[in-house]
A and B are shown apart, each in its own frame.
Chain A
């Protein structure tokens, strides 16, 4: 049985899709969701084809929709999902009824055999899935990646890193964000993960940049203790 938590999130997301996609697309999503409950093979096919079915246009969720979504999923931070992302989220939530081990295998397949958009859609909702700590390896891989949008899907407006990443990996994600010109204010829960080690890395990074005659990003101050910001 799908948990009531997952089914209410899926219901909100399906409604968002219904308001934007045609009726046959929405019906497709509902049928695919029903199949996902029991068939991993059907799930993988439907998950892959969701982008072609639903399109990739930005969803632009309204404030009320965001409220409803946050009520169902308190950790939700994403603001820039597209229709295929929403549809894929519905499918993932529907598949949570599978046995634990089967679900874990399925999620790993989605990631390792997924193209970039498939991976991003998964990362968007990783913290909503049962036993999210099981998927740390996938999340860390996204942060080692040089595909900007893939990195951002984990690092930005996503509660997962602040909650589940060990210090070493969280800090490395911040450094990579600096390298990739990703604004640090987009990292959810940053203030909860400040540490002297992160501050040390920031100071070393600033010094490396200064020695190379290159600019130091001003948002470095977000990870330095106040006394450094003279």
Chain B
């Protein structure tokens, strides 16, 4: 079964992770732009980060047969930083045009400040302008309030809910989100936030419609295999295969496909492995073309 992890910060992960992910059936990932763990103090740092998501990180993923897509944004935390906020907003229009960008994100609230409000709104306008769906981060503190505020803002600006993915949901926020037309993502972590067992319970309760799961694996304690692990627990718990496929493949493809930038036919076939990249040593590839499945 093919798996798409729709929220994972691969810049923080090693090639061991990529290899394990591919072995576990993950063939596509979406990496949203976020903060790195400590502040960027120059707009240029964002520029280079965006470039790396489009270039080096996409290449690293490709070495392991994984298709890499990204979302770009001024993230909620750094929207509060006047050293970078406006400068990043100037960069975004150019970068949102690029191949591989399939959403504006992560945007949303962190502390729910007025600056966060301002840049959340501006970036929804960018998403509208470039016909891209939006990936919304919900705060980890005061989450229910942050989610309610986010849903209210969407209504205020009239942003189409079917083109919004509200992420990091829990038992309290999921029903709020499903009551709108928005999609609902869930980040499965080893110790904190949502875990596999609770996710299975949510799926049994609410079904698979507009439900996505991700690992949100990043620089902290996290596990890039949480999506296949959760899928396995779902299977063991009697969740129908068709629901599991929808949650781990069909829904991410449908949601981000709204960008018009996913080659859906292409995505149906596992990405070819480029042997010239992985091949380590001496032997046979002398002057011959290394095997590249086309």
Query: Measuring CB to CB, which residues of chain A are less than 8 angstroms from any residue of chain B?
Result: 44-45, 48-49, 51-52, 112-119, 147-148, 180-181, 183, 185, 209, 214-215, 217-219
Cβ contacts under 8 Å, B274 to chain A: 148
Cβ contacts under 8 Å, B282 to chain A: 209, 214-215
B56 and A218 contact, CB distance less than 8 A: no
B113 close to chain A: CB less than 8 A: no
B20-41 Cβ-contact flags toward A at 8 Å (1 or 0): 0000000000000000000000
- How far, in whole Å, are A103 and B58 apart by their CA atoms in the complex? 29
B54 and A115 contact, CB distance less than 8 A: yes
Given contact pairs A147-B59, A148-B274, A219-B286, A113 touches B99 in the complex (Cβ within 8 A):
no
Cβ contacts under 8 Å, A51 to chain B: 99
B35-70 Cβ-contact flags toward A at 8 Å (1 or 0): 000000000000100010011101100000000000
Query: Measuring CB to CB, which residues of chain B are less than 8 angstroms from any residue of chain A?
Result: 47, 51, 54-56, 58-59, 94-95, 97-100, 261, 274, 276-277, 279, 281-283, 285-287, 290
Cβ contacts under 8 Å, A209 to chain B: 282
Cβ contacts under 8 Å, A219 to chain B: 286-287
- How far, in whole Å, are A147 and B100 apart by their CA atoms in the complex? 17
Q: When the two chains form the complex, which single residue of A49, A116, A180, A185 contacts B54, counting CB atoms closer than 8 Å?
A: A116
- How far, in whole Å, are A118 and B95 apart by their CA atoms in the complex? 12
- How far, in whole Å, are A44 and B94 apart by their CA atoms in the complex? 7
- How far, in whole Å, are A51 and B99 apart by their CA atoms in the complex? 7
Other A-B pairs beyond A113-B95, A115-B100, A214-B282, 15, CB < 8 Å:
A48-B98, A48-B99, A115-B55, A116-B55, A116-B58, A118-B98, A119-B55, A147-B55, A147-B56, A147-B59, A181-B279, A181-B290, A183-B287, A214-B281, A215-B282
Given contact pairs A44-B94, A217-B286, A218-B286, A115 touches B279 in the complex (Cβ within 8 A):
no
Cβ contacts under 8 Å, A52 to chain B: 99, 261
A115 and B286 contact, CB distance less than 8 A: no
A112 and B279 contact, CB distance less than 8 A: no
Cβ contacts under 8 Å, A45 to chain B: 94, 97
Given contact pairs A147-B59, A218-B287, A115 touches B98 in the complex (Cβ within 8 A):
yes
Can you report 25 A-B residue pairs in the complex whose CB atoms are below 8 A from each other?
A44-B94, A44-B97, A48-B98, A49-B97, A52-B99, A112-B47, A113-B94, A114-B51, A115-B51, A115-B100, A116-B55, A116-B58, A147-B56, A180-B276, A183-B287, A209-B282, A214-B281, A215-B281, A215-B286, A217-B286, A217-B287, A218-B286, A218-B287, A219-B286, A219-B287
Q: How far is the CB of B266 from chain A (nearest CB, A)?
A: 10
Nearest chain-A residue to B59 (Cβ)?
A147
